[in-house]
Amino acid sequence: MPASTPSPRRGLALGVLATGMLMTILDGSIVTVAMPAIQSDLGFSPVGLSWVVNAYLIAFGSLLLLSGRLGDLIGRKRMFLAGTGVFTAASLLAGFAGSPGVLVAARFLQGVGSAMASAVALGILVTLYSEPRERAKAIAVFSFTGAAGASLGQVLGGILTDALAWNWIFFINLPIGLATVLVALPALPADRGLGLRAGADVLGALLVTSGLMTGIYAVVKIEEYGAASAHTLGLGVLALVLLAGFLLRQTRAANPLMPLRVLRSRSVAGANLVQMLMVAALFSFQILVALYLQKVLGYGASATGFAMLPAAAVIGAVSLGVSARLIARFGERAVLLTGLALLVGVLGLLTRVPVHASYVTDLLPVMLLAAGFGLALPALTGLGMSGADEADAGLASGLFNTTQQIGMALGIAVLSTLAASRTETLSAAGHSTAEALTGGYRLAFAVGAGLLLAALAVAATVLRRRPGRTAGAAPDTAGRDRVPASPAVPAAR
């Protein structure tokens, strides 16, 4: 969209994109609170219940990269509208589900719709806001909706499940989805895309989608089969072979699905790696803290949501009120490092959480330090989109979201498995249930802190300050480490 686009229209477009992001993230976290009620009502087995989450995660994570590139080719607005429509229709099906099979199928379709819409949202945003300071503010708003949505989802999920029924955690998506589509039609900029001939690599699409789907499936099943099992290792090797075949195909295809030039940017490659580590670590905060509150301290669903509300509040305050100005003053790298340091403090404190905790002294400081996420995510998003030309904005957006989902899958698989294993060991040694659970969670928090330290090291070494950068200069998020588009790829229309 041209830079001369009237501000009110751009603001409305940003609101649409943020609302779409909020709906997607809200749905992901709202389900976790309602899982016990879903299991009781529909008769899920303990193993089968995990597919309420896994079906969504596999579809979402494996289709993001493909959806992002298709958005560049057929038009990002079309992809966003279609994805929102699919997600809304699948939510209706999930709400009316009367059996485990129907609900799992509906969750898979929700993942498909979320991938289609989420993959292009950042791509639309960075073309709407080309001026660095404005872009930093827009990314802060967008990041806030994602970060706060996760915490708000737990509050809303508890309220809806306790007051009405679990079905309403899906029905609530209907008015939001319909309103998003209706407002998006006039608000989002029309774009015809590059055309399928600019990247109609069918074999590449099959390789990357099947590779990601196989890999994510292998990861989410680690808890059931074990990390060193033939099932996990066999599927892991198959996923690596498929993804290696995809990368090889992209070097030889006349019209590659994912032009590898997007990975030549140091900022883009480094930001995606940092995000994978950060999201994997913060799974232990978002999910395991909620489990600790309920299973160890005895909180109900609603109380758990409200207990985590201060985290959403500080994340929102920092994202919307502080992060853009700090990025403009010090640059994304410095803000990212500060945010990661605060998050290390979050998980560091949680490694000492007691069996009989006081919320005010033991947990509230943790919630307040979560403000680091409000610093880290906007800075990381700016870096992750900084090297993409307009023609590749959807691809870069899809890649950024893909690494986020891979990180989430790894966090779920590794940290929950470690926590469960440690809990079993402590139970066998004669510890009480509360003590065993707390010990398991502490181990997961410690490993999460280690992942955040690794992310901090990568950010400090890979995302180096560019020579000639003066303090206080606005970051050139639009052009930093930019890789010129291939002459064979026409400019986006």
| Helix/strand/coil (H/E/C) assignment for every residue in 190-237 | CCCCCCHHHCCCHHHHHHHHHHHHHHHHHHHCHHHHCCCCHHHHHHHH
pLDDT at residue 477, rounded to an integer: 39
| Domain at 30, CATH number | 1.20.1250.20
Q: Are 373 and 344 in contact (CB under 8 A)?
A: no
Query: Residue 442: inside a domain, yes or no?
Result: yes
Query: Residue 481: inside a domain, yes or no?
Result: no
> What is the rounded average pLDDT of the residues 334-346?
91
Residue-averaged pLDDT of the chain: 77
Q: Round to whole Å and give the CA distance between 390 and 403.
A: 20
377 shares its domain with 311: yes
* Residue 449 to residues 18, 168, 177, 274, 415, Cα–Cα distance (Å): 29, 35, 36, 13, 11
CA 114 to chain centre: 11
Tell me the per-residue pLDDT of 113-136, one tens digit each, with 9 for 90 and over.
988 888 788 778 877 777 767 777
Query: Strand, helix or coil at 270?
Result: helix
93 shares its domain with 175: yes
Q: Are 393 and 72 in contact (CB under 8 A)?
A: yes
* Residue 276 to residues 18, 112, 130, 164, 459, Cα–Cα distance (Å): 22, 21, 26, 36, 12
> What is the rounded average pLDDT of the residues 383-389?
67
Q: Round to whole Å and give the CA distance between 271 and 396.
A: 11
Query: Strand, helix or coil at 248?
Result: helix
223 shares its domain with 95: no
Res. 93 pLDDT band, cuts 50 70 90: very high
Final residue in a domain of this structure, among 256, 274, 289 = 256
250 shares its domain with 286: no
Query: Residue 489: inside a domain, yes or no?
Result: no
DSSP string, 8-63: HHHHHHHHHHHHHHHHHHHHHHHHHHHHHHHHHHHT--HHHHTHHHHHHHHHHHHH
Provide CB contacts within 8 A for 190, sequence distance 6+: 75, 77
247 shares its domain with 357: no
Q: Round to whole Å and give the CA distance between 173 and 89.
A: 9
Query: Residue 476: inside a domain, yes or no?
Result: no
pLDDT at residue 490, rounded to an integer: 31
* Structural domain of 299: 7-188+257-461
Q: Round to whole Å and give the CA distance between 12 and 185.
A: 11
Is the pLDDT score of 167 beyond 50?
Answer: yes
Is the pLDDT score of 476 beyond 50?
Answer: no
Instruction: Tell me which of 221 and 489 has the higher pLDDT.
Output: 221
Closest CA to 127 of 263, 271, 2: 2
pLDDT at residue 343, rounded to an integer: 92
Query: Residue 287: inside a domain, yes or no?
Result: yes
Q: Round to whole Å and give the CA distance between 337 and 307.
A: 27
* Residue 411 to residues 28, 31, 286, 340, 397, Cα–Cα distance (Å): 15, 17, 11, 17, 21
Final residue in a domain of this structure, among 212, 229, 256 = 256
343 shares its domain with 378: yes
Tell me the per-residue pLDDT of 79-91, one tens digit each, with 9 for 90 and over.
899 999 999 999 9
Own/partner contacts of 299-305, CB < 8 Å, gap of 24 or more, are: 300/158, 300/162, 301/33, 301/34, 301/157, 301/158, 301/161, 301/162, 302/155, 302/158, 302/159, 302/162, 303/158, 304/33, 304/154, 304/158, 305/33, 305/151, 305/154, 305/155, 305/156, 305/157, 305/158, 305/159
- Say which range, 187-191, 335-339, 428-432, has the weakest mean pLDDT: 187-191
* Residue 263 to residues 240, 331, 386, 425, Cα–Cα distance (Å): 18, 21, 11, 43
322 shares its domain with 249: no
> What is the rounded average pLDDT of the residues 279-307?
80
> What is the rounded average pLDDT of the residues 30-47?
73
Final residue in a domain of this structure, among 211, 232, 256 = 256
222 shares its domain with 311: no
Query: Residue 425: inside a domain, yes or no?
Result: yes
Q: Could you tell me what percent of the chain has a pLDDT over 70?
A: 79
Q: Are 382 and 335 in contact (CB under 8 A)?
A: no
71 shares its domain with 159: yes
pLDDT at residue 194, rounded to an integer: 63
Instruction: Tell me which of 1 and 177 has the higher pLDDT.
Output: 177
173 shares its domain with 111: yes
* 3-state DSSP helix/strand/coil % of the chain, to nearest 5: 80, 0, 20
Q: Round to whole Å and give the CA distance between 326 and 474.
A: 10
296 shares its domain with 425: yes
In the chain, what's the furthest Cα-to-Cα distance? 69
Is the pLDDT score of 405 beyond 70?
Answer: yes
Closest CA to 223 of 428, 61, 449, 46: 46
428 shares its domain with 314: yes
Strongest mean pLDDT among 147-151, 280-284, 407-411, 442-446:
442-446
* Residue for token pair 């803000």: 335
Closest CA to 293 of 362, 389, 229: 362
Instruction: Tell me which of 187 and 435 has the higher pLDDT.
Output: 435
Closest CA to 396 of 272, 274, 270: 272
**Domains in the chain: how many in total?**
2
DSSP string, 446-486: HHHHHHHHHHHHHHHHTSPPPTTPPTTPPP-TTTTT--PPP
Closest CA to 337 of 484, 461, 219: 461
Backbone angles phi, psi at 143, to 5 degrees: -65, -35
Query: Residue 477: inside a domain, yes or no?
Result: no
Q: What type of residue is 264?
A: R
Is the pLDDT score of 484 beyond 70?
Answer: no
Query: Residue 294: inside a domain, yes or no?
Result: yes
* Residue for token pair 């699905």: 257
- Say which range, 91-100, 172-181, 205-214, 431-440, has the weakest mean pLDDT: 205-214
